[in-house]
Amino acid sequence: MSGPARLRRLNPREFLFLHKSRLLYLYLSNRAPTVESFALWPVLIFSIVVHEVAHGLTALRLGDPTARDLGRLTLNPIPHIDLFGSIIVPLMSYLAAGTVYIAWAKPVPVNPSYFRNVRRDDILVSAAGPASNLVVAFGCAVLYVVALSLFGSADLLPDGLEKATLEFLYAMFLTGITLNVFLAVFNLIPIPPLDGSHVLASLLPEEIGLRYRQIGFFGIVAVILLMRFEPFRDIVLSIIRLILLPYRLFIDLLV
């Protein structure tokens, strides 16, 4: 059985995510809206929420109830929304430029003082977000295979609501795979405030790690500049394409 599409090669000109609990930077090219571009948004919101909840749930398992007590362990996106960063800024950016989307969500609070082993537990909490994105990517692959098995290729249907709905679902699942692998890899770049920086800081000597964390959001500037540096960008995208291979194989074996 052939599907409506396969996983597309990741194109950094189509979207670039710098996502931590506080920041999401998305660059969209100046092209006409497509099914894929519309399908991106629901899976993007869901993926970010799952990412944040994973941090909070892991912290809770390790003894920190802060996120739970503040009502942040929910898949409802509303508690994660920052009025200014999640609504006003991206709306103004879209209206002003049409191609640049900048937003941030409320960080899931974590209090390391609850941890028994601060270094180990901070690494586990930080890694939980990217790990959750890989799980979501696999879920999208499974849903794609199941939907395709049940409904078949949208290309075989006449133009209409049913075909448009199937195309949207297939695009959402396939986009969700690439997007979540991208989020997982990107967040593990060891530059503050990305998750990878917490992992690195916890492995460094305590004083050096503390100073490294203090780079904070200045690190975002460095990340943006690095992603404009072709050799660095090629390394990141090569890792993403490598991780995408098992997902491609899974789909190809079953459809």
Beta bridge partners of 25: 102
In whole angstroms, give the CA distance from residue 167 to residue 218. Answer: 40
**SS3 for 91?**
helix
Nearest to residue 197, comparing CAs of 22, 54, 64, 26? 22
Chain mean position to CA 106:
15
CA atoms 161, 163, 166, 172: torsion sign: negative
52 is catalytic: yes
Q: Which of 14, 36, 52, 206 is labelled catalytic?
A: 52
Q: What is the CA radius of gyration of the chain?
A: 19
In whole angstroms, give the CA distance from residue 146 to residue 152. Answer: 10
Give yes or no for a contact between 24 and 105, defined as CB atoms under 8 angstroms apart: yes
Q: Which two tokens stand for residue 227?
A: 């992603």
In whole angstroms, give the CA distance from residue 1 to residue 144. Answer: 13
Nearest to residue 26, comparing CAs of 86, 69, 66? 86
Quote the Cα angle for 208-214-215, to 5°: 100
CA atoms 95, 30, 169, 16: torsion sign: negative
Residues designated catalytic? 52
